[in-house]
Structure 1
Protein backbone atom coordinates (compact mmCIF):
# COMPACT_ATOMS: atom_id res chain seq x y z
CA UNK A 1 0.00 0.00 0.00
CA UNK A 2 1.17 3.40 -0.88
CA UNK A 3 0.67 6.64 0.93
CA UNK A 4 -1.84 7.86 -1.62
CA UNK A 5 -3.89 4.71 -1.19
CA UNK A 6 -3.90 5.05 2.63
CA UNK A 7 -4.93 8.70 2.39
CA UNK A 8 -7.69 7.91 -0.06
CA UNK A 9 -8.98 5.10 2.15
CA UNK A 10 -8.95 7.35 5.23
CA UNK A 11 -10.86 10.06 3.39
CA UNK A 12 -13.43 7.58 2.15
CA UNK A 13 -13.87 6.21 5.68
CA UNK A 14 -14.43 9.74 7.07
CA UNK A 15 -17.08 10.49 4.40
CA UNK A 16 -18.77 7.19 5.01
CA UNK A 17 -18.88 7.78 8.79
CA UNK A 18 -20.18 11.31 8.34
CA UNK A 19 -22.96 10.16 5.98
CA UNK A 20 -23.84 7.13 8.05
CA UNK A 21 -24.31 8.93 11.34
CA UNK A 22 -24.59 12.73 11.11
CA UNK A 23 -26.16 12.78 14.59
CA UNK A 24 -23.12 11.02 16.03
CA UNK A 25 -20.73 13.56 14.51
CA UNK A 26 -22.93 16.41 15.68
CA UNK A 27 -23.10 14.92 19.21
CA UNK A 28 -19.29 14.53 19.32
CA UNK A 29 -18.88 18.13 18.18
CA UNK A 30 -21.34 19.37 20.85
CA UNK A 31 -19.56 17.37 23.57
CA UNK A 32 -16.22 18.77 22.42
CA UNK A 33 -17.59 22.34 22.51
CA UNK A 34 -19.07 21.80 25.98
CA UNK A 35 -15.72 20.49 27.24
CA UNK A 36 -13.93 23.51 25.76
CA UNK A 37 -16.51 25.83 27.35
CA UNK A 38 -16.07 24.21 30.77
CA UNK A 39 -12.30 24.50 30.41
CA UNK A 40 -12.58 28.18 29.45
CA UNK A 41 -14.89 28.87 32.41
CA UNK A 42 -12.39 27.21 34.76
CA UNK A 43 -9.55 29.28 33.30
CA UNK A 44 -11.56 32.48 33.79
CA UNK A 45 -12.30 31.55 37.43
CA UNK A 46 -8.59 30.90 38.08
CA UNK A 47 -7.67 34.20 36.44
CA UNK A 48 -10.24 36.08 38.53
CA UNK A 49 -8.97 34.45 41.72
CA UNK A 50 -5.39 35.33 40.82
CA UNK A 51 -6.32 38.96 40.11
CA UNK A 52 -8.14 39.15 43.45
CA UNK A 53 -5.10 37.71 45.28
CA UNK A 54 -2.75 40.17 43.58
CA UNK A 55 -5.07 43.06 44.46
CA UNK A 56 -5.27 41.98 48.13
CA UNK A 57 -1.49 41.56 48.31
CA UNK A 58 -0.94 45.01 46.78
CA UNK A 59 -3.41 46.61 49.20
CA UNK A 60 -1.67 44.97 52.17
CA UNK A 61 1.77 46.04 50.95
CA UNK A 62 0.52 49.61 50.45
CA UNK A 63 -1.00 49.67 53.95
CA UNK A 64 2.22 48.31 55.45
CA UNK A 65 4.24 50.89 53.53
CA UNK A 66 2.06 53.68 54.93
CA UNK A 67 2.15 52.25 58.46
CA UNK A 68 5.86 51.55 58.65
CA UNK A 69 7.24 54.22 56.31
CA UNK A 70 8.86 56.13 59.16
CA UNK A 71 10.74 53.11 60.55
CA UNK A 72 14.21 54.16 59.39
CA UNK A 73 13.64 57.74 60.52
CA UNK A 74 12.32 56.54 63.88
CA UNK A 75 15.44 54.38 64.42
CA UNK A 76 17.60 57.44 63.79
CA UNK A 77 15.57 59.61 66.20
CA UNK A 78 15.92 57.01 68.98
CA UNK A 79 19.59 57.98 69.38
CA UNK A 80 18.48 61.61 69.89
CA UNK A 81 16.01 60.46 72.56
CA UNK A 82 18.74 58.39 74.24
CA UNK A 83 21.17 61.33 74.30
CA UNK A 84 18.50 63.66 75.68
CA UNK A 85 17.64 61.16 78.45
CA UNK A 86 21.34 60.70 79.32
CA UNK A 87 21.76 64.48 79.42
CA UNK A 88 18.84 64.88 81.80
CA UNK A 89 20.11 62.07 84.05
CA UNK A 90 23.56 63.66 84.19
CA UNK A 91 22.26 66.90 85.73
CA UNK A 92 22.96 66.70 89.48
CA UNK A 93 20.02 67.28 91.81
CA UNK A 94 21.59 70.38 93.40
CA UNK A 95 21.85 72.05 89.96
CA UNK A 96 18.22 71.29 89.18
CA UNK A 97 17.17 73.67 91.96
CA UNK A 98 19.71 76.35 91.02
CA UNK A 99 18.02 79.40 89.46
CA UNK A 100 20.77 79.68 86.82
CA UNK A 101 20.08 76.19 85.47
CA UNK A 102 16.35 75.96 86.16
CA UNK A 103 15.37 77.27 82.70
CA UNK A 104 17.72 74.82 81.00
CA UNK A 105 16.41 71.86 83.00
CA UNK A 106 12.77 72.84 82.41
CA UNK A 107 13.46 73.23 78.67
CA UNK A 108 15.16 69.84 78.43
CA UNK A 109 12.32 68.18 80.38
CA UNK A 110 9.76 69.77 78.05
CA UNK A 111 11.73 68.59 75.01
CA UNK A 112 11.79 65.05 76.42
CA UNK A 113 8.02 65.08 77.04
CA UNK A 114 7.35 66.41 73.53
CA UNK A 115 9.54 63.71 72.02
CA UNK A 116 7.60 61.04 73.96
CA UNK A 117 4.34 62.59 72.73
CA UNK A 118 5.54 62.45 69.12
CA UNK A 119 6.53 58.82 69.60
CA UNK A 120 3.07 57.98 70.94
CA UNK A 121 1.31 59.73 68.05
CA UNK A 122 3.27 57.62 65.59
CA UNK A 123 2.82 54.29 67.41
CA UNK A 124 6.33 54.11 68.86
CA UNK A 125 6.28 52.60 72.35
CA UNK A 126 8.99 51.75 74.85
CA UNK A 127 9.45 48.06 75.64
CA UNK A 128 9.06 47.09 79.28
CA UNK A 129 12.20 45.37 80.48
CA UNK A 130 13.13 45.58 84.18
CA UNK A 131 11.62 42.73 86.18
CA UNK A 132 10.31 40.99 83.04
CA UNK A 133 11.41 37.59 81.81
CA UNK A 134 13.83 37.74 78.88
CA UNK A 135 11.98 37.69 75.57
CA UNK A 136 14.41 37.23 72.68
CA UNK A 137 11.87 38.88 70.38
CA UNK A 138 12.12 42.14 72.34
CA UNK A 139 15.26 41.99 74.47
CA UNK A 140 18.92 41.40 73.72
CA UNK A 141 20.83 39.95 76.66
CA UNK A 142 24.22 41.63 76.97
CA UNK A 143 25.36 39.96 80.19
CA UNK A 144 24.35 37.63 82.97
CA UNK A 145 24.73 38.72 86.56
CA UNK A 146 24.17 37.10 89.94
CA UNK A 147 20.84 38.09 91.45
CA UNK A 148 18.25 36.92 93.95
CA UNK A 149 15.67 37.00 91.12
CA UNK A 150 14.67 33.98 89.05
CA UNK A 151 17.09 33.03 86.26
CA UNK A 152 16.17 34.76 83.00
CA UNK A 153 14.68 37.80 84.75
CA UNK A 154 15.91 41.16 83.48
CA UNK A 155 17.72 42.95 86.32
CA UNK A 156 19.42 45.77 84.40
CA UNK A 157 18.51 47.82 81.32
CA UNK A 158 21.43 49.35 79.44
CA UNK A 159 19.44 50.75 76.53
CA UNK A 160 15.68 51.06 76.11
CA UNK A 161 13.98 49.05 73.39
CA UNK A 162 11.14 50.31 71.22
CA UNK A 163 8.31 48.91 69.11
CA UNK A 164 6.64 50.64 66.17
CA UNK A 165 3.09 49.37 66.35
CA UNK A 166 3.48 45.58 66.36
CA UNK A 167 7.04 45.43 64.98
CA UNK A 168 10.36 45.62 66.79
CA UNK A 169 12.12 48.91 66.14
CA UNK A 170 15.09 48.29 68.45
CA UNK A 171 15.61 45.57 71.09
CA UNK A 172 16.24 46.54 74.69
CA UNK A 173 19.84 45.84 75.73
CA UNK A 174 19.60 44.13 79.10
CA UNK A 175 21.40 42.29 81.88
CA UNK A 176 19.79 39.03 82.96
CA UNK A 177 19.83 37.18 86.29
CA UNK A 178 21.79 33.97 86.04
CA UNK A 179 21.11 30.72 87.79
CA UNK A 180 22.78 30.27 91.17
CA UNK A 181 25.80 28.02 91.28
Structure 2
Protein backbone atom coordinates (compact mmCIF):
# COMPACT_ATOMS: atom_id res chain seq x y z
CA UNK A 1 0.00 0.00 0.00
CA UNK A 2 1.33 3.36 -0.94
CA UNK A 3 1.28 6.46 1.09
CA UNK A 4 -1.43 7.97 -1.05
CA UNK A 5 -3.71 5.00 -0.45
CA UNK A 6 -3.15 5.28 3.30
CA UNK A 7 -4.01 8.95 3.23
CA UNK A 8 -7.11 8.18 1.19
CA UNK A 9 -8.32 5.50 3.67
CA UNK A 10 -7.63 7.77 6.64
CA UNK A 11 -9.62 10.54 4.99
CA UNK A 12 -12.54 8.16 4.36
CA UNK A 13 -12.47 7.03 7.97
CA UNK A 14 -12.53 10.63 9.12
CA UNK A 15 -15.45 11.41 6.84
CA UNK A 16 -17.44 8.42 8.07
CA UNK A 17 -16.76 9.41 11.66
CA UNK A 18 -17.66 13.00 11.04
CA UNK A 19 -20.89 11.97 9.30
CA UNK A 20 -22.19 10.28 12.50
CA UNK A 21 -20.79 12.33 15.38
CA UNK A 22 -24.18 12.34 17.09
CA UNK A 23 -24.35 8.54 17.06
CA UNK A 24 -20.85 8.25 18.48
CA UNK A 25 -21.65 10.86 21.10
CA UNK A 26 -24.90 9.09 22.03
CA UNK A 27 -23.10 5.77 22.41
CA UNK A 28 -20.48 7.35 24.62
CA UNK A 29 -23.08 9.09 26.76
CA UNK A 30 -25.17 5.90 27.18
CA UNK A 31 -22.09 3.97 28.24
CA UNK A 32 -21.09 6.85 30.50
CA UNK A 33 -24.54 6.99 32.12
CA UNK A 34 -24.53 3.25 32.73
CA UNK A 35 -21.05 3.46 34.20
CA UNK A 36 -22.09 6.35 36.44
CA UNK A 37 -25.23 4.51 37.56
CA UNK A 38 -23.20 1.40 38.40
CA UNK A 39 -20.68 3.49 40.29
CA UNK A 40 -23.52 5.27 42.10
CA UNK A 41 -25.02 1.93 43.19
CA UNK A 42 -21.62 0.73 44.39
CA UNK A 43 -21.12 3.92 46.39
CA UNK A 44 -24.59 3.57 47.93
CA UNK A 45 -23.79 0.02 49.03
CA UNK A 46 -20.45 1.12 50.44
CA UNK A 47 -22.19 3.91 52.36
CA UNK A 48 -24.76 1.49 53.80
CA UNK A 49 -22.04 -0.94 54.86
CA UNK A 50 -20.08 1.88 56.46
CA UNK A 51 -23.14 3.10 58.37
CA UNK A 52 -23.92 -0.43 59.56
CA UNK A 53 -20.32 -0.94 60.64
CA UNK A 54 -20.33 2.35 62.54
CA UNK A 55 -23.59 1.44 64.27
CA UNK A 56 -22.27 -2.01 65.22
CA UNK A 57 -19.09 -0.46 66.58
CA UNK A 58 -21.10 2.05 68.61
CA UNK A 59 -23.28 -0.73 70.07
CA UNK A 60 -20.26 -2.87 70.91
CA UNK A 61 -18.54 0.05 72.64
CA UNK A 62 -21.68 0.90 74.63
CA UNK A 63 -21.96 -2.73 75.74
CA UNK A 64 -18.28 -2.86 76.70
CA UNK A 65 -18.65 0.40 78.62
CA UNK A 66 -21.69 -0.81 80.56
CA UNK A 67 -19.92 -4.10 81.36
CA UNK A 68 -16.81 -2.25 82.47
CA UNK A 69 -18.92 -0.14 84.83
CA UNK A 70 -20.89 -3.13 86.13
CA UNK A 71 -17.88 -5.36 86.72
CA UNK A 72 -15.27 -2.76 87.68
CA UNK A 73 -15.52 -3.66 91.37
CA UNK A 74 -14.89 -7.37 90.82
CA UNK A 75 -11.40 -7.43 92.36
CA UNK A 76 -12.45 -5.33 95.33
CA UNK A 77 -15.55 -7.47 95.83
CA UNK A 78 -13.48 -10.68 95.90
CA UNK A 79 -11.30 -9.15 98.60
CA UNK A 80 -14.34 -8.10 100.61
CA UNK A 81 -15.77 -11.61 100.43
CA UNK A 82 -12.90 -12.90 102.53
CA UNK A 83 -13.81 -10.28 105.16
CA UNK A 84 -17.43 -11.48 105.11
CA UNK A 85 -16.24 -15.09 105.40
CA UNK A 86 -14.05 -14.25 108.39
CA UNK A 87 -16.93 -12.48 110.13
CA UNK A 88 -19.14 -15.55 109.63
CA UNK A 89 -16.39 -17.82 110.96
CA UNK A 90 -15.90 -15.58 113.98
CA UNK A 91 -19.60 -15.72 114.81
CA UNK A 92 -19.72 -19.48 114.26
CA UNK A 93 -16.74 -19.98 116.58
CA UNK A 94 -18.47 -18.36 119.54
CA UNK A 95 -20.30 -21.00 121.61
CA UNK A 96 -24.00 -20.36 122.23
CA UNK A 97 -23.62 -20.15 126.01
CA UNK A 98 -21.01 -17.39 125.63
CA UNK A 99 -23.23 -15.54 123.13
CA UNK A 100 -25.86 -15.25 125.86
CA UNK A 101 -23.40 -13.85 128.42
CA UNK A 102 -24.32 -10.21 129.09
CA UNK A 103 -20.67 -9.12 128.90
CA UNK A 104 -20.21 -10.49 125.37
CA UNK A 105 -23.76 -10.18 124.02
CA UNK A 106 -23.26 -6.61 122.74
CA UNK A 107 -20.00 -7.57 121.03
CA UNK A 108 -21.68 -10.49 119.27
CA UNK A 109 -24.61 -8.28 118.25
CA UNK A 110 -22.17 -5.71 116.85
CA UNK A 111 -20.34 -8.35 114.81
CA UNK A 112 -23.66 -9.69 113.50
CA UNK A 113 -24.84 -6.21 112.53
CA UNK A 114 -21.53 -5.44 110.82
CA UNK A 115 -21.75 -8.70 108.85
CA UNK A 116 -25.33 -7.96 107.77
CA UNK A 117 -24.41 -4.43 106.72
CA UNK A 118 -21.47 -5.75 104.69
CA UNK A 119 -23.78 -8.20 102.88
CA UNK A 120 -26.34 -5.42 102.26
CA UNK A 121 -23.65 -3.22 100.73
CA UNK A 122 -22.49 -6.07 98.52
CA UNK A 123 -26.08 -6.65 97.38
CA UNK A 124 -26.52 -2.98 96.51
CA UNK A 125 -23.60 -3.36 94.12
CA UNK A 126 -25.05 -6.43 92.42
CA UNK A 127 -23.20 -9.05 94.46
CA UNK A 128 -25.46 -11.88 95.60
CA UNK A 129 -24.86 -15.03 97.56
CA UNK A 130 -25.32 -18.31 95.69
CA UNK A 131 -27.92 -20.60 97.26
CA UNK A 132 -26.30 -23.99 97.69
CA UNK A 133 -27.58 -26.32 100.41
CA UNK A 134 -30.46 -28.45 99.14
CA UNK A 135 -29.83 -27.47 95.52
CA UNK A 136 -28.69 -29.78 92.74
CA UNK A 137 -24.95 -29.43 92.10
CA UNK A 138 -24.42 -26.84 89.37
CA UNK A 139 -20.82 -26.81 88.11
CA UNK A 140 -21.35 -23.23 86.96
CA UNK A 141 -22.00 -22.12 90.55
CA UNK A 142 -20.58 -24.81 92.82
CA UNK A 143 -17.21 -26.44 93.31
CA UNK A 144 -17.62 -29.92 94.78
CA UNK A 145 -14.98 -30.49 97.44
CA UNK A 146 -16.13 -33.74 99.03
CA UNK A 147 -18.77 -36.41 98.68
CA UNK A 148 -20.84 -37.14 101.77
CA UNK A 149 -23.00 -40.20 102.29
CA UNK A 150 -26.53 -38.92 102.65
CA UNK A 151 -30.16 -39.83 102.33
CA UNK A 152 -30.58 -36.93 99.93
CA UNK A 153 -30.59 -37.66 96.19
CA UNK A 154 -27.16 -38.13 94.70
CA UNK A 155 -25.68 -34.87 93.42
CA UNK A 156 -27.53 -32.69 95.93
CA UNK A 157 -25.51 -30.14 97.88
CA UNK A 158 -25.66 -31.13 101.56
CA UNK A 159 -22.92 -28.94 103.02
CA UNK A 160 -21.51 -25.52 102.21
CA UNK A 161 -17.92 -24.96 103.24
CA UNK A 162 -17.57 -21.54 101.69
CA UNK A 163 -20.32 -19.38 100.25
CA UNK A 164 -20.32 -18.58 96.56
CA UNK A 165 -21.23 -15.21 95.07
CA UNK A 166 -22.27 -13.75 91.74
CA UNK A 167 -21.82 -10.20 90.52
CA UNK A 168 -24.75 -9.27 88.30
CA UNK A 169 -24.92 -12.30 86.00
CA UNK A 170 -21.32 -13.51 86.36
CA UNK A 171 -19.84 -15.86 88.89
CA UNK A 172 -17.60 -14.01 91.31
CA UNK A 173 -16.62 -17.02 93.40
CA UNK A 174 -17.98 -20.58 93.29
CA UNK A 175 -19.46 -22.06 96.43
CA UNK A 176 -17.28 -24.81 97.89
CA UNK A 177 -19.68 -27.59 98.75
CA UNK A 178 -20.08 -31.16 99.89
CA UNK A 179 -22.27 -33.26 97.63
CA UNK A 180 -24.49 -36.20 98.54
CA UNK A 181 -23.49 -39.61 97.32
CA UNK A 182 -25.32 -42.89 97.61
CA UNK A 183 -24.94 -44.60 100.96
CA UNK A 184 -22.53 -47.52 100.89
CA UNK A 185 -25.32 -50.12 101.25
CA UNK A 186 -27.28 -48.72 98.30
CA UNK A 187 -26.65 -49.56 94.67
CA UNK A 188 -27.03 -47.18 91.81
CA UNK A 189 -29.99 -47.70 89.54
CA UNK A 190 -29.10 -47.37 85.90
1:64 to 46, 64, 67: 67
Greater alpha carbon shift after TM alignment, 89-98 vs 52-61: 89-98
Q: Which has the larger radius of gyration?
A: 2
**What residue number does 1:36 align with?**
39
Q: What do residues 45-95 of structure 1 show as CA deviations (whole Å, max 9, x unaligned)? A: 100000000000000111111111111110110000000000011111111
Q: Secondary structure at the match of 1:21?
A: helix
Query: Given the two structures, how large is their TM-score scaled by the length of structure 2?
Result: 0.84
2:139 to 136, 139, 142: 136
Q: How far 1:175 moved relative to its partner? A: 0.9
**What residue number does 2:54 align with?**
51
**What residue number does 1:123 align with?**
126
Give the Cα separation in 1 of the matches to 2:140 and 2:96.
Answer: 37
Q: How far 1:152 moved relative to its partner? A: 0.6
Structure 1: stretches of 5+ with no match in the other structure: 1-8
Structure 2: stretches of 5+ with no match in the other structure: 1-9
**What residue number does 2:101 align with?**
98
Number of aligned residues = 170
Give the Cα separation in 2 of the matches to 1:103 and 1:16.
Answer: 112
Give the Cα separation in 2 of the matches to 1:85 and 1:16.
Answer: 101
1:168 to 166, 171, 186: 171
In the alignment, is residue 24 of structure 1 matched against residue 24 of structure 2? no
Greater alpha carbon shift after TM alignment, 73-82 vs 113-122: 113-122
**Could you say what the CA RMSD is over the residues aligned between the two structures, in angstroms?**
2.0
Structure 1 outlier segments of 4+, above 6 Å: none
Q: Secondary structure at the match of 1:156?
A: strand
Q: What do residues 19-51 of structure 1 show as CA deviations (whole Å, max 9, x unaligned)? A: 352211110011001111110111011000000
